[in-house]
Structure 1
Amino acid sequence: MFALQVDESTDIGGMAQLLVFVRYIHNVKIVNQFFCCKELKETTTGNDIFSTLSEYLKSVGLTWQSCVGICTDGAPAMIGSIKGFVSLVKREKSSVITTHCFLHREALVAKTISNDLKSVLEKVVKMVNFIKSRPLRSRLLTKLCEELESKHLNLLHTEARWLSRGKILSRVCELKEEMLTFFTLEQQEEFCDLLADETWCAKLSYLADIFELLNKVNAKMPGKSENGLSSTDKIKALKDKLQLWGGKVKEGNLDMFSHFALAANSGEIIPIISEHLAVREKQLQHYFPDICIENYDWIRNPFVASISTQYQLTLMEEEQLVELRHDRDLNLLHMQLPTDEFWVQIKTKYPHVAKKALVMLIQFSTSYQCELGFSTLANIKTNKRERLKTFEEVVRVFLSTIQPNVKRIFQSHQAHTSH
């Protein structure tokens, strides 16, 4: 069995590139690996993606019947109900599990902010763009920060899109005094008025704090061993935290917001913060409907979790789970191995229940590897290498972690003898 992580983007030459990663069982572990990078010649519809990937699967001896999961970014071409890529795959295998990337869904939640806070975010972006638009301005700000012995010397940029807002807001919040001096020298009255406004700065401080807290959650989800179960745990924890923070704010406790707790006139925007946290909690519930994660506790620990009809196990699977629970040797083995390795180890002895568990563990929960892959792709295909012919091979060398069998490669080639 295997699961796929699929995403599509446009390179510097304007060509659409389909990037795919695969997760499968190798020896005793579940591993992630680069699968393919295919150019979509014309349109980028769901049918184009499906046809391209189906052709590649056939060329490597695989079929959709072995696919148990697909993770996408949730774009219409991917999840369209009629002609979307996922819908076409489900016609081939209806039981395939589809996942909308957790990071993309959380990013959609992050966009839900009130007009008051949205205007602050837009002004910060405008300030940063003004400074970054010319190298001279960036150098002048750096020089000013050095003279003022600031903690940071400049604004920063991050390639991970879901981390950008939090990092930029935190840096602007920490450099607002230096930026006020800089904009005064540049005669930017609009920016000066904003940075001198204590209420506006209080809103900025809150945005810096809330995005920083969300970034901590996002940074924990892109791990290579991350699956739907572990990612769901983190989202459920975030839901409870938002509810907790909302209650603490109403009580006047602002300890969780480090920047905002130090801001002047912070009391004036408490109602805005309470509303924002409530709306964010509601949106999180919308994009992440309740998943009865407890129904999968038997996967994490089959020796402790009680058997329930909610697990939706067949009679054969339940019987094997009962036998497994009373196998003392495997109980001791379970304490020594990671969850995925444990189920791979016993899939021969208990094939039915092990397969049920592995189908869940092999799922991708994010399209993070594709995002990193596109960053690599941008570094490979530049203006001077826009027409690179062996593009997929170069990408494979960069992204694949498989060690090449040099001896076998040499045996398949004939050395040039001297004439």
Structure 2
Amino acid sequence: MALKRKRALAEEKRVFNPQWECDYFVMETSTHCMVCLICSHIVKTVKSDNAKQHFRRHVSHPYANLKGECRKKCVKNLKKRVRQQTSCMSAFVKSQNVCCEASYRVAYHLGVAGKPYTDGELFKKCLLDVVKCIHPGKETDYSSVPLSRVTIQRRQHDISLQLKDTLQTKINSQESLFALAVDESTDINDSAQLLIFVRCLSSSFELCEDLLSMETLATRTRGEDIFNAVKNACFRSELDLRNLRGICTDGAPAMTGNQQGFVTRFAEYICKEHGNNDLINLHCIIHQEALCVKSVTLNTILKDVNGIIIFIRANALHHRQFRELLTSSETSAEDILYHSSVRWLSQGETSRRVLLLRKEIIEFYSLKKNHCPLLDAKFLISLAFLVDFLTHVNFLNQSLQGKATTVCLVYKKVQDFRDKCILFKIHLQQRYFFHFPQVLALVDSKEAQSDEIPIDHFSNVLDGLLHEFTVRFKDFKKISQTTRLVAYPHLVDTESAPLHLQMELVELKNNVQLVKKFKDEENLLETWKGACEYPKLQDLARKTLVLFGSTYMCEAAFSKSKVPKEQIPNQAIRQQSGVRIADNDVK
């Protein structure tokens, strides 16, 4: 015989009787319980016997002896007091929630700006002063916002954990592909930091870029050490390495060594353990471009330019006198700059400043009774060419930077620059200096004669650069046919495409609307997202667009992490939180 199931309390659907308020000094709460008006005790079960049993504890209380209207009036006043207490508590909780949200928002903005935690306290002082001026008397409404150093640190850590959980959810979602960008750098305390960024592309072409992990290499930075650090980071994040499509590094031997390099080890590991043979290794295209330029830059001219800068800036008295000279001459040009070989773009700017301030520099050298290299016409022409040359190079470098850039776009820009160099060479040989405005300005101002310009020497510089561009970028050349098929499928010869893609490629070329989007060079992600009729081509596009073309994200993050880990306990975790927030666009 089956036992009868005991009825649950919720199934009884008990209803509070208003008469119990006067009889037992209880009232119903918003949670469908009863609260005693005398002692504030909560009676969970709405039942007459329970209310009566509890009221027996207060039979000796003065309220229990009241009768008639006095009893009703007393119950009314007690109910009013309980409601006021509840209302005050609710308002307090609501106020605390608002203050807590405000605290998180301030912590987020401080993290994005890379500001220290203590700036929260300064912000609060400024906020209270602003409120005091605009809304006097309401300072107390804002003084309860928690913005102490410890609070801001905790808030940023919470935000970082939330961003990390969201990132892992996107990466580990079904059919999502991802790629890694790995770079290592040493901070001011000689501590080796390894940044691992991940780019994830879902089946619906939703792109996500964020910091996967920030690892500290305790001692050595060999390929084995980097391999273990990256493998552990992937394991902690529970990444499915079967969906990994590419790794982008800075090309250092520890990263790309043929036998002991990180990429070689990692490729062997995911092939053996996860059956993934599709890993694409790319050397950061910005690093390669910088190496090309470094190998052909006019080193003799740069050495003399740096000599001029050091003569003025290395001596504090000389620098003050030179700035006074600039002020007296009422020139609009800014002060002369130091050149740093670490900062690739500084070469062009420092050379440009020297060229623009050449009259003031010559005058300053004359006051110091020193010979100035700028008095030499050949040197001046070479400097003008160097400034124009580096202007074009720096424009290319800056165009390769940025988040969410695709390998198709960055490699196209490198190819475009190579074609421009060919055009520059042709124009130089024709003594046509339209693309070299500083050289043209010297000719127009009669500071140099057109016949004095060493065309052959400058052409050899461009030849050297073209040779470097031919030798390098081999990794991008290997996937150039694929990137062209993804970026410009309407221009690819159908017979040159892989056999399994040719039928879809024919259909795509006949799709007028889709071809127009490719011709207009619209967002490739959005374009391929709408190309659902061509699943094989769409899958190829997803595997290509997910790749990192550079380690720009790592380099940008290194520049933002300025605080040494040893200054504050647990700074390694806090620094990682700051980098994750600073590189995230979530508001």
- Using structure 2 for the length normalisation, give the TM-score: 0.61
Residues 7-57 of structure 1 show CA distances to partners (whole Å, capped at 9, x for unaligned) of 100011110000122111256432322222111111101111111011111
2:353 aligns with 171
1:354 aligns with 538
CA distance in 1: counterparts of 2:188 and 2:216, whole angstroms: 13
Residues 49-78 of structure 1 show CA distances to partners (whole Å, capped at 9, x for unaligned) of 111011111111103322111111111111
1:15 aligns with 191
2:331 aligns with 150
1:223 aligns with 402
Q: How does 1:253-272 map to 2 (within 5 A)?
A: 253-263=432-442, 264-265=448-449, 267-272=452-457
Q: 1:64 to 1:292 in 2, by over 3 A?
A: closer
Q: 1:112 to 1:220 in 2, by over 3 A?
A: same
Residue 202 of structure 1 contacts residue 265 of structure 1 at CA under 8 Å; is this kept in 2? no
Q: 1:336 to 1:10 in 2, by over 3 A?
A: closer
Residue 565 of structure 2 contacts residue 571 of structure 2 at CA under 8 Å; is this kept in 1? no
Residues 140-195 of structure 1 show CA distances to partners (whole Å, capped at 9, x for unaligned) of 333221211223120246888221111111111111111222233345x2xx3312
2:471 aligns with 286
Q: 1:225 to 1:83 in 2, by over 3 A?
A: same
Residue 103 of structure 1 contacts residue 366 of structure 1 at CA under 8 Å; is this kept in 2? yes
Residues 301-335 of structure 1 show CA distances to partners (whole Å, capped at 9, x for unaligned) of 55x3456343335x2x4455556566788779888
Residue 12 of structure 1 contacts residue 383 of structure 1 at CA under 8 Å; is this kept in 2? no
1:89 aligns with 266
More off after superposition, 206-215 vs 139-148: 139-148
CA distance in 2: counterparts of 1:397 and 1:272, whole angstroms: 49
CA distance in 2: counterparts of 1:324 and 1:261, whole angstroms: 48
More off after superposition, 30-39 vs 335-344: 335-344
* Partner secondary structure for residue 119 of structure 1: helix
* Partner secondary structure for residue 544 of structure 2: helix
Residue 77 of structure 1 contacts residue 83 of structure 1 at CA under 8 Å; is this kept in 2? yes
Residue 7 of structure 1 contacts residue 367 of structure 1 at CA under 8 Å; is this kept in 2? yes
1:416 aligns with none
Amino acid at match of 1:401: D
* Partner secondary structure for residue 295 of structure 2: coil
CA distance in 1: counterparts of 2:363 and 2:521, whole angstroms: 59
* Partner secondary structure for residue 239 of structure 1: helix
Q: 1:301 to 1:389 in 2, by over 3 A?
A: closer
* Partner secondary structure for residue 168 of structure 1: helix
Residue 8 of structure 1 contacts residue 19 of structure 1 at CA under 8 Å; is this kept in 2? yes
* Aligned counterpart in structure 2 of residue 31 of structure 1, from 208, 217, 229: 208
Residue 205 of structure 2 contacts residue 542 of structure 2 at CA under 8 Å; is this kept in 1? no
Q: How does 1:311-330 map to 2 (within 5 A)?
A: 311-312=497-498, 315=500, 317-321=501-505
Q: 1:329 to 1:233 in 2, by over 3 A?
A: closer
Q: 1:386 to 1:12 in 2, by over 3 A?
A: farther
Q: 1:197 to 1:88 in 2, by over 3 A?
A: same
CA distance in 1: counterparts of 2:266 and 2:491, whole angstroms: 34
RMSD (CA atoms): 2.9
CA distance in 1: counterparts of 2:424 and 2:513, whole angstroms: 45
Residue 318 of structure 1 contacts residue 353 of structure 1 at CA under 8 Å; is this kept in 2? no
* Count of aligned pairs: 393
Ranked by relative contact order (alpha carbons within 8 Å, sequence separation 6 or more), the top structure is 1
Larger radius of gyration: 2
State the Cα distance separating 1:211 from its structure 2 match.
0.5
2:117 aligns with none
* Percent of paired sites with the same residue: 27
Q: 1:387 to 1:132 in 2, by over 3 A?
A: farther
Residues 230-285 of structure 1 show CA distances to partners (whole Å, capped at 9, x for unaligned) of 11211111111111111111111122111112331552422211111111111111
Amino acid at match of 1:308: T
Q: 1:102 to 1:177 in 2, by over 3 A?
A: same
Q: How does 1:301-380 map to 2 (within 5 A)?
A: 302=489, 304-305=490-491, 308-312=494-498, 315=500, 317-321=501-505, 338-346=523-531, 350-377=534-561, 379-380=562-563
More off after superposition, 229-238 vs 122-131: 122-131
- Using structure 1 for the length normalisation, give the TM-score: 0.84
State the Cα distance separating 1:291 from its structure 2 match.
6.3
* Aligned counterpart in structure 2 of residue 181 of structure 1, from 363, 368, 372: 363
CA distance in 1: counterparts of 2:224 and 2:553, whole angstroms: 23
More off after superposition, 251-260 vs 326-335: 326-335
Q: 1:129 to 1:19 in 2, by over 3 A?
A: farther
State the Cα distance separating 1:352 from its structure 2 match.
3.5
Residue 309 of structure 2 contacts residue 338 of structure 2 at CA under 8 Å; is this kept in 1? no
* Aligned counterpart in structure 1 of residue 416 of structure 2, from 232, 237, 242: 237
CA distance in 2: counterparts of 1:333 and 1:121, whole angstroms: 45
CA distance in 1: counterparts of 2:508 and 2:422, whole angstroms: 39
State the Cα distance separating 1:394 from its structure 2 match.
2.9
Does residue 40 in structure 1 map to residue 40 in structure 2? Answer: no
Q: 1:209 to 1:23 in 2, by over 3 A?
A: same
1:109 aligns with 292
2:306 aligns with 125
Q: 1:350 to 1:384 in 2, by over 3 A?
A: same
* Partner secondary structure for residue 262 of structure 1: helix
* Partner secondary structure for residue 418 of structure 2: helix
State the Cα distance separating 1:372 from its structure 2 match.
1.1
Residue 365 of structure 2 contacts residue 372 of structure 2 at CA under 8 Å; is this kept in 1? no
Which runs of no fewer than 5 residues in structure 2 stay unpaired?
1-176, 271-275, 443-447
* Aligned counterpart in structure 2 of residue 299 of structure 1, from 486, 489, 493: 486
1:60 aligns with 237
* Partner secondary structure for residue 32 of structure 1: strand
Residue 6 of structure 1 contacts residue 370 of structure 1 at CA under 8 Å; is this kept in 2? yes
Residue 20 of structure 1 contacts residue 35 of structure 1 at CA under 8 Å; is this kept in 2? yes
Amino acid at match of 2:184: E
Amino acid at match of 2:470: Q
Residue 181 of structure 2 contacts residue 551 of structure 2 at CA under 8 Å; is this kept in 1? yes
* Partner secondary structure for residue 70 of structure 1: strand
2:62 aligns with none
* Partner secondary structure for residue 111 of structure 1: helix
Q: 1:350 to 1:163 in 2, by over 3 A?
A: same
* Partner secondary structure for residue 231 of structure 1: helix
* Partner secondary structure for residue 112 of structure 1: helix
CA distance in 2: counterparts of 1:206 and 1:371, whole angstroms: 30
Residue 306 of structure 2 contacts residue 339 of structure 2 at CA under 8 Å; is this kept in 1? no
* Partner secondary structure for residue 345 of structure 2: helix
